[in-house]
């Protein structure tokens, strides 16, 4: 318990930075992922090609390398410098966007074409087809996998620790280097693990509940 | 179809890379800081160090395993083009090994990051550690130190043609940008106590030095020994600043570098301390061949008594 | 050719699509051009920055680091498959005293991030005086995480099989373990093969986390190259080259997954592949599938059949 109470400021910073990366990365991922997903299913072949290239390139790169590019490569752009945390948010957002795009594409594809064709046959314009017919049905298929992506995003924030961003795993190094703060490396890492287990379990339970509620009978 | 495109692209890339390697093999044509070769310490024969479990282990293994740094030019540097290690700390490590009767070929170097130094010594994965290792009481709870063999402190590195010629304290850099390692003590000190000084943080020091050379930052700050190492590589482009009292380099904290040893090995500790105390000429030769190229002059410190 | 999102394009839609195509190309070229321009400004394309890759020594070491990466991946892959089997069988057991603890353990390993697990093995165990090499910390961390994910995939595969399969097995007098080994698992493996190989790609990518616990693999070497002050600190260049190596490796493995899935498609009817995993998705959109069936549409999707 000492390991927690004696280091409250560090824990607060660690959890705060983790949540910051999660929220910031999540927003970037959802926005960029929607754009890329839309490109992937659009009728424009160039847009489809660009989207596919982006998804395949980033999906086959380790997240650590994406971080490396953003944090070390940014200085090569000769632009005003940004703190590592911002660059980390960008890195994790760009990486997660690919999974968001894939999830959206898969969700759209679960809606039977007949639904959209029937909607068009009764004369609904594109906007109403989307909002009244397609998206409500796609929503049910998209949300549970999207929650998986968000859970993965939360766990991926730990990678930022390798780049001097103050996320939770970094606590272990700070505390063991200081020699004045209580807590052995094992205790700190165990508590970090407990944090993730608790949060991930909660999110997973929510995801399972949603899945069950929205299970579609076909 | 997609798979063929992928394979073709990969093969093309691989072929291009192989063609590139034909360009150059061996060492860089003009290593910066080349010239005088590092001194070759005489390998002692008939060494019989009694009562040192670490020494016995070294004899058993046929040579010492020395923990070092490999990314600090002038101090502990591994040249990837030639796989040669060079620098002040490396030469000190070689000197110690020679005094124990081990040749250069018997030495195994192991790169150990700062965070893992005590762990590696305690577990016996390395026999001793030479690499900007500051002597502190907290560390002495887990390991022992021999030396110190070098005294330094926080210093400032600027371009050779910089208008700043001496440092009073951090306020000398008001309105200018100072670069250091992410989250390091100097950065924290500046952000807390000198808000008019702008800071830039990077993960690795060489990035700071690159920015300094290209003019994007005005100064780099960390242990003066590390800065002197960079200055020694490029004495015409970089210089370490003296302070207002004429000390060169100007130091604003005190760090005493020692040789990390497993705890309790007083025999080895005494041997190394004696080596340092009696070997002033050798120390000076090592210094002149490595850090001394930057132009600063530093004295060898007195060793601590064996604890 | 119609799909959920858009109808067969008429003349106005075709014109709009052309405009969108041009706009996309312009935006992408502008972004890429901007990045290349800034890189040239900061001198990233000078020969000096790339000179580090003209030394054969560097390439030899890259080869060694690549081998380290593959070593960790190979062992972790094999062990996680074994662990995945064990945990899946445990989860499917009839005995609650086996099923519940295995379920708890699997969920636990899946919830902890891989890096935290690696750090527990490398930094946490020394608290109990057990030190393990970074290699084993990487392998064990990867095994525990990927093993539990694979266990879930296998379990989903087995549960998605038609009940008739196991009922037929029991009807001819097989015991539970035989039914599992001879009937259920082989079919489940075949159904889940794309997911399994996709998870292996994830394992390969996660070996890169090893550099955070000082395992000498490719990314660790990238950092070392970046600190080579004598060769211009080629941070971006080493990231690009070594990143390219990673991408090629993962593309090869992904292509293997794709190829296996396609082969599986052509064979006899497969059971439903369980919960949809976007990571194992293929490229055929509903659009192209329908266009192939009706024979309409100018686009041919290369002869791929819907699943």
221-240 in chain C: CB under 8 A from chain B: 223-233, 235
Question: C154 in contact with B at a CB cutoff of 8 Å?
Answer: no
Cβ within 8 Å, pair C41-A106: no
**What whole-number distance in Å separates Cα of residue B60 and Cα of residue B58?**
5
Q: What are phi and psi of A75, to 5 degrees?
A: -65, -20
76-135 in chain B: CB under 8 A from chain A: 115
Nearest to B203 among A81, A163, A177 (CB): A163
Mutate which: A49, A52, A76, vs C, most C CBs within 10 A = A76
Within a 10 A sphere around the Cβ of A136, how many other Cβ atoms? Answer: 11
16-75 in chain B: CB under 8 A from chain C: 17, 20-21, 23-26, 28, 31-33, 70-71, 73
Cis amide leading into B249 (omega within 30): yes
From C75's Cα to the closest Cα of chain B, the distance in A is 24
Cβ within 8 Å, pair B203-A83: no
Q: Which residues pair with C194 in a beta bridge?
A: none
pLDDT of residue B250: 79
**What whole-number distance in Å separates Cα of residue A189 and Cα of residue C125?**
10
Within a 10 A sphere around the Cβ of C268, how many other Cβ atoms? Answer: 6
- pLDDT tens digits for A28-48? 999 999 999 888 888 888 888
Model confidence at A157, pLDDT cuts 50, 70, 90, reads very high
Q: What are phi and psi of C257, to 5 degrees?
A: -60, -45
Nearest to A177 among B115, B200, B211 (CB): B115
Q: Specify the pairing of strand B108-111 against strand B65-68.
A: parallel
Nearest to A64 among C107, C116, C209 (CB): C209
pLDDT of residue C271: 46
Question: B1 in contact with C at a CB cutoff of 8 Å?
Answer: yes
**What whole-number distance in Å separates Cα of residue B168 and Cα of residue C306?**
75
Question: B207 in contact with A at a CB cutoff of 8 Å?
Answer: yes
Cβ within 8 Å, pair A99-C6: no
Question: A60 in contact with B at a CB cutoff of 8 Å?
Answer: no
Residues 6+ apart with CB under 8 A from C122: C132, C134, C137, C213, C214
- The residue with tokens 């002597």 is B135
A chain contacts of residue B201, beta-carbon cutoff 8 Å: 83-84, 164
% of chain C surpassing 70 pLDDT: 85
C chain contacts of residue B8, beta-carbon cutoff 8 Å: none
74-133 in chain A: CB under 8 A from chain C: 75-79, 99, 102-103, 105-106, 108-111, 113, 115-117, 120, 126, 130
B208 vs A17, higher pLDDT: A17
Model confidence at B83, pLDDT cuts 50, 70, 90, reads confident
pLDDT of residue A17: 93
Average pLDDT score over residue span B248-261 = 85
Helical H segments across B156-260, by residue range? 185-193, 205-214, 224-233
Residues 6+ apart with CB under 8 A from C86: C147, C151
Nearest to C54 among B20, B33, B83 (CB): B20
Average pLDDT score over residue span C92-108 = 89
- pLDDT tens digits for A173-203? 777 766 667 777 888 889 999 999 999 999 9
CA angle A44/A50/A54 to nearest 5° reads 145
C chain contacts of residue A193, beta-carbon cutoff 8 Å: 112, 116-117, 120
Indicate the SS3 state at residue B154: strand
**What whole-number distance in Å separates Cα of residue C81 and Cα of residue C75?**
10
**What whole-number distance in Å separates Cα of residue B11 and Cα of residue B38?**
43
Query: What DSSP state is assigned to residue B163?
Result: S
Please give the structure tokens belonging to residue C60: 């030899």
Cβ within 8 Å, pair A42-C125: no
Model confidence at C2, pLDDT cuts 50, 70, 90, reads low
B chain contacts of residue A176, beta-carbon cutoff 8 Å: 115
Cα–Cα distance list, B164 to A19, B155, B195 (Å): 43, 14, 19
Question: A41 in contact with C at a CB cutoff of 8 Å?
Answer: yes
**What mean pLDDT value characterizes chain A?**
86
Domain residue limits, chain C: 1-42, 47-294
C chain contacts of residue B119, beta-carbon cutoff 8 Å: 126, 131
Cβ within 8 Å, pair C55-B206: no
From B78's Cα to the closest Cα of chain C, the distance in A is 8
C chain contacts of residue B21, beta-carbon cutoff 8 Å: 53-56, 59
Average pLDDT score over residue span A17-21 = 94
**What whole-number distance in Å separates Cα of residue A110 and Cα of residue A127?**
19
Q: Does residue C285 surpass a pLDDT of 50?
A: no
Q: Which residues pair with B79 in a beta bridge?
A: B84
Q: For the domain made up of B53-152+255-294, give the CATH fold.
A: D-Maltodextrin-Binding Protein; domain 2 (3.40.190)
Question: A162 in contact with C at a CB cutoff of 8 Å?
Answer: yes
Least confident of B4-8, B207-211, B240-244: B4-8
CA angle A37/A105/A115 to nearest 5° reads 120
Cβ within 8 Å, pair A62-C205: yes
**What whole-number distance in Å separates Cα of residue A102 and Cα of residue A51?**
10
* Most distant CA atoms of chain B, gap in Å: 74
From A20's Cα to the closest Cα of chain B, the distance in A is 18
pLDDT of residue B118: 82
- pLDDT tens digits for B18-59? 555 444 444 444 344 444 456 677 777 767 777 788 888 888
Inter-residue contact C299 to C16 (CB < 8 Å): no
- pLDDT tens digits for B175-207? 888 888 876 778 878 878 888 888 887 777 888
Question: A49 in contact with C at a CB cutoff of 8 Å?
Answer: no
Inter-residue contact B147 to B161 (CB < 8 Å): no
C268 vs B68, higher pLDDT: B68
Mutate which: A56, A67, A71, A81, vs B, most B CBs within 10 A = A81
| C181 torsion bin: left (phi>0), alpha (psi -120 to 50), beta (else) | alpha
Please give the structure tokens belonging to residue B37: 């070769």
B chain contacts of residue C227, beta-carbon cutoff 8 Å: 71, 204-206
Residues 6+ apart with CB under 8 A from B281: none
B chain contacts of residue A71, beta-carbon cutoff 8 Å: 203
Inter-residue contact B129 to C132 (CB < 8 Å): no
Residue C290 burial class via C-beta count within 10 angstroms: exposed 0-12, middle 13-18, buried 19 and up? middle
**What whole-number distance in Å separates Cα of residue B72 and Cα of residue B90?**
11
Please give the structure tokens belonging to residue C227: 């600190």
Nearest CA in chain C to B205: C227
User: How many A/B residue pairs have CB atoms within 8 Å?
Assistant: 25
Closest CA to C51 of B89, B169, B26: B26
Nearest to A185 among C127, C206, C242 (CB): C127
% of chain B surpassing 90 pLDDT: 7
Residue by residue, DSSP assigns chain A as: -HHHHTTHHHHHHHHHHHHHHHHHHHHHHHHHHHHHHHHHTSS-HHHHHHHHHHHHHHHTS-HHHHHHHHHHHGGGGTS----HHHHHHHHHHHHHHHHHHHHHHHHHHHS-HHHHHHHHHTT--HHHIIIIIIHHHHHHHHHHHHHHHHHHHHHHGGGGGGGT---TTHHHHHHHHHSSS---HHHHHHHHHHHHHHHHHHHHHHHHHHHHHTPPP-
> pTM of the prediction?
0.81
| Sequence ranges of chain B with CATH classification 3.40.190.10 | 53-152+255-294, 154-240
Question: A177 in contact with B at a CB cutoff of 8 Å?
Answer: yes
**What whole-number distance in Å separates Cα of residue A130 and Cα of residue B182?**
48
Within a 10 A sphere around the Cβ of C161, how many other Cβ atoms? Answer: 18
**What whole-number distance in Å separates Cα of residue B186 and Cα of residue B222?**
7
Nearest CA in chain C to A194: C112
pLDDT of residue C83: 94
Delineate the domains of chain A, giving CATH numbers in brackets: 2-213 (1.10.3720.10)
Average pLDDT score over residue span C94-110 = 90
Nearest CA in chain C to A154: C113
Mutate which: C64, C227, C241, vs B, most B CBs within 10 A = C227
Distance, CA of C173 to chain centre: 40
Cβ within 8 Å, pair A76-C235: yes
What is the CATH class of B154-240? alpha beta
Please give the structure tokens belonging to residue B134: 């500051």
Average pLDDT score over residue span B128-138 = 87
Cβ within 8 Å, pair B80-C231: yes
Query: Which of these CATH numbers, 1.10.3720.10, 3.30.70.890, 3.20.20.70, 3.40.140.10, describes C47-294?
Result: 1.10.3720.10
């Amino acid at each position: 318990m000492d390991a927690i109470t004696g280091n409250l400021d560090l824990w607060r910073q660690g959890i705060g930075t983790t949540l910051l990366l999660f929220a910031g990365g999540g927003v970037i991922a959802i926005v960029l992922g929607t754009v890329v997903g839309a490109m992937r299913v659009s009728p424009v072949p160039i847009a489809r090609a660009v989207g596919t290239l982006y998804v395949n390139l980033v999906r086959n790169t380790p997240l650590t390398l994406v971080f490396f590019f953003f944090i070390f490569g940014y200085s090569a752009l000769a632009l005003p410098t940004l703190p590592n945390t911002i660059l980390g948010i960008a890195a994790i957002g760009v990486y997660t966007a690919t999974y968001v795009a894939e999830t959206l594409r898969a969700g759209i594809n679960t809606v039977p074409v007949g639904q959209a064709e029937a909607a068009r046959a009764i004369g609904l314009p594109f906007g109403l087809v989307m909002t009244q017919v397609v998206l409500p049905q796609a929503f049910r298929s998209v949300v549970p996998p999207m929650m998986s992506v968000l859970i993965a995003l939360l766990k991926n924030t730990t990678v930022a620790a390798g780049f001097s961003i103050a996320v939770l795993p970094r606590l272990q190094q700070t505390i063991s280097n200081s020699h004045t703060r209580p807590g052995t490396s094992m205790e700190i890492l165990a508590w970090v693990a407990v944090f993730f287990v608790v949060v991930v379990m909660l999110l997973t339970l929510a995801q399972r509940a949603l899945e069950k509620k929205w299970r579609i009978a076909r | 179809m997609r798979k063929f495109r992928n394979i073709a692209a990969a093969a093309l890339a691989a072929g291009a890379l192989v063609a590139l390697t034909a360009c150059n093999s061996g060492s860089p044509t003009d290593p910066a800081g080349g010239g005088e070769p590092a001194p070759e310490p005489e390998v002692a024969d008939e060494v019989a160090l009694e009562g040192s479990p670490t020494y016995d282990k070294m004899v058993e293994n046929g040579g010492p395993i020395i923990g070092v740094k490999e990314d600090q030019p002038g101090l502990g540097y591994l040249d990837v083009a030639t796989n040669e290690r060079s620098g002040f700390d490396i030469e000190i490590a070689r000197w110690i090994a020679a005094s124990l009767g081990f040749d250069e070929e018997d030495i195994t170097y192991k790169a150990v990051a700062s965070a893992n130094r005590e762990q590696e010594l305690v577990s016996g994965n390395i026999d001793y550690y030479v690499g900007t290792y500051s002597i502190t009481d907290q560390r002495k709870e887990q390991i022992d130190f021999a030396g110190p063999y070098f005294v330094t402190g926080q210093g400032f590195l600027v371009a050779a043609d910089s208008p700043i010629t001496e440092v009073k304290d951090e306020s000398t850099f008001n309105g200018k940008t100072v670069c250091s390692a992410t989250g390091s003590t100097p950065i924290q000190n500046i952000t807390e106590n000198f808000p008019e000084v702008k800071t830039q943080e990077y993960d690795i020091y060489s990035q700071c030095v690159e920015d300094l050379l290209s003019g994007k930052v005005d100064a780099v700050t960390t242990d003066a020994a590390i800065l002197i190492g960079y200055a020694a590589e490029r004495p015409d482009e970089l210089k370490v600043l003296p302070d207002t009292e004429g000390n060169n380099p100007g130091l604003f904290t005190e760090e005493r570098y020692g040789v990390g040893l497993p705890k309790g090995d007083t025999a080895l500790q005494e041997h190394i301390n004696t080596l340092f105390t009696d070997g002033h000429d050798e120390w000076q030769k090592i210094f002149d061949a490595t850090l001394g190229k930057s132009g600063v002059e530093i004295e060898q410190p007195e060793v601590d008594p064996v604890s | 050719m119609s799909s959920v999102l858009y109808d067969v394009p008429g003349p106005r839609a075709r014109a709009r699509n052309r405009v969108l195509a041009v706009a996309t190309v312009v935006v992408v070229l502008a972004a890429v051009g901007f990045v290349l321009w800034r890189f040239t400004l900061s001198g990233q394309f000078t020969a000096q920055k790339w000179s580090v890759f003209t030394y054969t020594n560097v390439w030899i070491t890259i080869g060694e680091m690549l081998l380290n990466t593959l070593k960790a991946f190979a062992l972790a892959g094999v062990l996680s498959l074994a662990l995945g089997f064990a945990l899946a069988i445990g989860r499917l057991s009839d005995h609650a005293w086996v099923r519940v603890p295995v379920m708890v353990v699997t969920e636990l390993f899946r919830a902890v991030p891989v890096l935290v697990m690696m750090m527990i093995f490398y930094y946490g165990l020394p608290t109990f005086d057990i030190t393990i090499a970074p290699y084993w910390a990487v392998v064990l961390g990867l095994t525990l995480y990927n093993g539990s994910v694979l266990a879930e995939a296998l379990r989903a595969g087995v549960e998605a099989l038609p009940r008739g399969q196991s009922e037929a097995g029991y009807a001819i007098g097989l015991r539970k373990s035989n039914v599992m080994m001879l009937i259920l698992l082989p079919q489940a493996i075949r159904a889940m093969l794309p997911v399994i190989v996709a998870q292996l790609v994830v394992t390969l990518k996660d070996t890169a986390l090893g550099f955070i616990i000082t395992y000498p693999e490719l990314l660790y070497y990238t950092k070392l190259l970046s600190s080579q002050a004598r060769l211009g600190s080629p941070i971006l260049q080493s990231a690009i080259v070594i990143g390219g190596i990673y991408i090629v490796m993962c593309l090869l493995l992904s292509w293997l997954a794709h190829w296996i899935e396609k082969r599986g498609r052509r064979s006899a009817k497969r059971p439903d592949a369980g919960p949809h995993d976007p990571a194992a998705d293929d490229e055929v959109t509903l659009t192209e599938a329908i266009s192939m069936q009706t024979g309409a549409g100018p686009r041919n999707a290369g002869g791929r059949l819907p699943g």
